[in-house]
């Protein structure tokens, strides 16, 4: 039976671990050993990680892989990807190579506006509220100057603030709906600080607005927070080539492949059950790069899926067509990313990942991430509509199964060789390991 604890966050790291292992583990020494196995021997580096969050007890590793040969707007990139799923980096690399030989990826940033809102309750006359808002709007911006000065120097800042009437949805509910340009920063702290300042000024100035009644003066701020829905922070990635150039060998013509591929995209456009899996495959690429570059993948996920439902039905993020003998495959997605601030200047591997990408601006990173998503979707649909997904997946999963059985390097080599010409299934791999081990014992 586990127990509650008061003041846990104030305990030292080693006392926290003592409490955890004694409360939850039968083999306390083993649990401690595993936790400590992942500590970094460089104490400064470990302290940096300890201080990212509260109550750190160890580090959680994910592999950082790279997918080379991405030609984006005629410049070559090797894309860093942090992900645990066996086939993702291999699929990205394959798609990169395929499109490298066909002109590469073309990308462009469509817009970079981010949104934040002050949600408030006002019980009174809307016309008076509008007059108050118009009067106080310059002051909202003026009172935020200490927060916005640096961003403005670099060309960003507050774009606009609107008053929105939401009383059709909730009685007395209104918003200050603000738009921002945050340049190379993801901008969450900047936006939230501005919004909290707007809320303060708005509430205080309402008390002084002569036309308001005593009740109208009492504006009740519910909350001030940025939105992770960023349909106007949009990037486009695209590949195209002659239909006949899509064919790699004689097993399928370019035209047959293109038509099947487009059918698969069309299905994801109209069928939400398929669209979710289709988009999940896109997010395999996107999240991996977002994570490797120290960005907030939960924000990206939430914003992208909301965008995929913007017409009232969850749908494919990618689209494909043939026009005048040219196959085009593209995607437009919202991505609010940063290449300065947050983890980008703190985590040594994030810094390394950004350097690998030629130290991109946030706009360039948006394009790289979109390409990783499009490439991933291309690779998945290509497998799904030709060989089926399991052939590639199980080949990549083979190593995981071998590791589950503690295979040594020699066993791994022999069995990998065997499965170059045999179908990988879990039971076939187990059988192969057992056979190999029995024959070893006999010899």
137: annotated active-site residue? no
Residue 140 half-sphere exposure toward CB, CA atoms < 13 A: 26
97: annotated active-site residue? no
296: annotated active-site residue? yes
Q: With contact defined as beta carbons under 8 Å apart, do 147 and 156 qualify?
A: no
Shortest gap between Cβ of 141 and ligand MEV (angstroms)? 45
Catalytic hit among 139, 280, 321, 363 = 280
Distance in angstroms (rounded) separating the CA atoms of residues 300 and 228 = 7
Q: Is 312 left (phi over 0), alpha (psi -120 to 50) or beta?
A: left
User: Which residue, chain included where needed, has tokens 């990826």?
Assistant: 105
Q: Where are the alpha helices (DSSP H) in 293-423?
A: 297-308, 348-356, 362-384, 389-404, 409-418
Shortest gap between Cβ of 281 and ligand MEV (angstroms)? 3
Distance in angstroms (rounded) separating the CA atoms of residues 333 and 49 = 32
Distance in angstroms (rounded) separating the CA atoms of residues 99 and 328 = 12
280: annotated active-site residue? yes
Selection from 149, 157, 200 nearest residue 178 by Cα: 157
Residue 126 half-sphere exposure toward CB, CA atoms < 13 A: 11
Q: Which residues bind ligand MEV (CB under 6 A)?
A: 85, 277-278, 280-281, 284, 380, 384, 389
Catalytic hit among 13, 16, 32, 85 = 85
- Supply φ then ψ for residue 190, to 5 degrees: -60, -50
Closest to ligand MEV by CB, 389 or 407: 389
Shortest gap between Cβ of 284 and ligand MEV (angstroms)? 5
| DSSP-derived secondary structure for 274-325 | HHHHHHHHHHHHHHHHHHHTT--HHHHHHHHHHHHTTTSS---SEEEEEETT
Closest to ligand MEV by CB, 106 or 278: 278
Selection from 214, 186, 247, 227 nearest residue 382 by Cα: 247
Distance in angstroms (rounded) separating the CA atoms of residues 281 and 284 = 5
Shortest gap between Cβ of 276 and ligand MEV (angstroms)? 9
Distance in angstroms (rounded) separating the CA atoms of residues 161 and 152 = 16
Shortest gap between Cβ of 280 and ligand MEV (angstroms)? 6
Tokens of 74: 């005629």
Closest to ligand MEV by CB, 71 or 304: 304
Shortest gap between Cβ of 313 and ligand MEV (angstroms)? 18
Query: Chain-centre distance of CA 258, in angstroms?
Result: 29
3-state secondary structure of 379: helix
Closest to ligand MEV by CB, 300 or 380: 380
Catalytic hit among 393, 395, 412, 418 = 393
Closest to ligand MEV by CB, 177 or 280: 280
Q: CA–CA distance from 120 to each of 179, 215, 250, 329 (Å)?
A: 17, 14, 64, 43
Distance in angstroms (rounded) separating the CA atoms of residues 247 and 242 = 10
Closest to ligand MEV by CB, 27 or 277: 277
Q: Which residue is nearest to ligand MEV (CB)?
A: 281
Shortest gap between Cβ of 113 and ligand MEV (angstroms)? 30
Closest to ligand MEV by CB, 365 or 380: 380
Shortest gap between Cβ of 389 and ligand MEV (angstroms)? 5
Closest to ligand MEV by CB, 137 or 278: 278
3-state secondary structure of 222: strand
* Catalytic residue list: 85, 280, 296, 393
């Amino acid at each position: 039976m586990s127990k509650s604890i008061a003041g846990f966050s104030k305990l030292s790291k080693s006392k926290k671990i003592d409490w955890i292992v004694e409360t939850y583990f039968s083999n306390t020494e083993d649990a401690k050993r595993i936790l400590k196995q992942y500590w970094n021997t460089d104490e400064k580096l470990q302290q940096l990680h300890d201080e990212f969050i509260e109550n750190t007890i160890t580090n959680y590793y994910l592999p950082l892989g790279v997918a080379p040969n991405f030609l984006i707007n005629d410049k070559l990139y090797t894309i860093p990807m942090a992900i645990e799923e066996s086939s993702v980096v291999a699929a990205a690399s394959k798609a990169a190579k395929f499109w490298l030989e066909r002109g590469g990826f073309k990308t462009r940033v469509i817009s970079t506006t981010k949104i934040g809102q002050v949600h408030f309750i006002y019980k009174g006359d809307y016309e008076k509220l509008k007059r108050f808002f118009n009067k106080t709007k310059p002051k909202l911006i003026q009172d935020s100057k200490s927060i916005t000065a640096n961003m403005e120097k670099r060309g960003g800042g507050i774009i606009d603030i609107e008053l929105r009437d939401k009383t059709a949805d909730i009685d007395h509910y209104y918003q200050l709906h603000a738009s921002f340009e945050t340049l190379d920063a993801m901008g969450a702290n900047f936006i939230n600080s501005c919004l909290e300042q707007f809320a303060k000024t708005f509430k205080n100035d309402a008390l002084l607005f002569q036309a308001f009644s005593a009740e109208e003066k009492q504006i009740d701020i519910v909350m001030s927070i940025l939105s992770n829905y960023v349909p106007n922070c949009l990037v486009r990635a695209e590949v195209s080539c002659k239909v006949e150039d899509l064919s790699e060998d004689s097993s399928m013509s370019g035209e047959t492949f293109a038509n099947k591929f487009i059918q698969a995209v069309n299905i994801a456009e109209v069928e939400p059950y398929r669209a979710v899996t289709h988009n999940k495959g896109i997010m395999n690429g996107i999240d991996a790069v977002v994570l490797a570059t120290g960005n907030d993948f939960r924000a990206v996920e939430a914003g992208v899926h909301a965008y995929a439902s913007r017409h009232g039905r969850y749908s494919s993020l990618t689209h494909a067509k043939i026009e005048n003998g040219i196959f085009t495959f593209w995607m437009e997605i919202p991505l609010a990313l940063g290449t300065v601030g947050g983890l980008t200047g703190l985590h040594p591997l994030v810094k390394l990942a950004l350097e690998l990408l030629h130290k991109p601006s946030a706009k360039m990173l948006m394009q790289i991430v979109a390409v990783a998503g499009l490439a991933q979707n291309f690779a998945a649909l290509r497998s799904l509509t030709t060989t089926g997904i399991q052939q590639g997946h199980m080949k990549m999963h083979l190593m995981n199964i071998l590791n589950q059985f503690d295979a040594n390097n020699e066993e791994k080599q022999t069995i990998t060789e065997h499965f170059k010409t045999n179908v990988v299934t879990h039971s076939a791999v187990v059988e192969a390991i057992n056979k190999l081990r029995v024959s070893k014992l006999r010899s």
